[in-house]
Amino acid sequence: MSRRWVPWRRRLKGAWELMPNLPGGDDPISMTLTVIILILCLPIFVLVIVWGLEFLVLLLLLPFVVLARSVFGHQWVIEARKGWTPVWEEPAGNWAESAQAIRDVAAAIEQGNTPPANLAER
């Protein structure tokens, strides 16, 4: 059980596993293959750079967003997950109300009363 801090979820998973092994030779064929592979991998490099920039922006904005949500009483959304996959979510009110809702739902789950899945499989 946890609060979702931002309204979106990360989409980039396993990017490093998708990267091919580059040839290591110093002959013209290996150089040509390396250039072709690098050109084909350019979109992945761009995505990684964009992801890194987004992460830096999130790190810069996170203290202000948390402070604003706490001060202005923005409604929090709590969620239940199986592993890392969210399967249930519900608006829970302010910080104190969401903390109590997390405790209540966690206790219900421990007793075997799981909330109905209200999120579609992604």
For the stretch 21-75, pLDDT in tens is: 765 667 788 888 888 988 999 999 999 999 999 999 999 999 998 888 778 777 8
Shared domain check, 90 and 63: no
Shared domain check, 81 and 68: no
Shared domain check, 61 and 17: yes
Shared domain check, 95 and 68: no
Shared domain check, 80 and 94: yes
Shared domain check, 85 and 64: no
Domain span at residue 64 reads 13-72
Shared domain check, 68 and 18: yes
2-17 tens-digit pLDDT: 777 777 666 666 666 7
pLDDT at position 68 is: 84
Strand pairing partners for 35? none
| Residue 76 buriedness (CB in 10 A; 0-12 / 13-18 / 19+) | buried
Read off the pTM.
0.47
Q: Examine residue 56 and state whether it is found in any structural domain, yes or no.
A: yes
CB atoms within 10 A of CB 105: 20
**Which is nearest to 88 in space by CA: 98, 72, 77, 96?**
77
Q: How many domains does the chain have?
A: 2
Cα dihedral angle (64, 70, 73, 77), rounded to 10 degrees?
90
Domain stop point among 33, 51, 72: 72
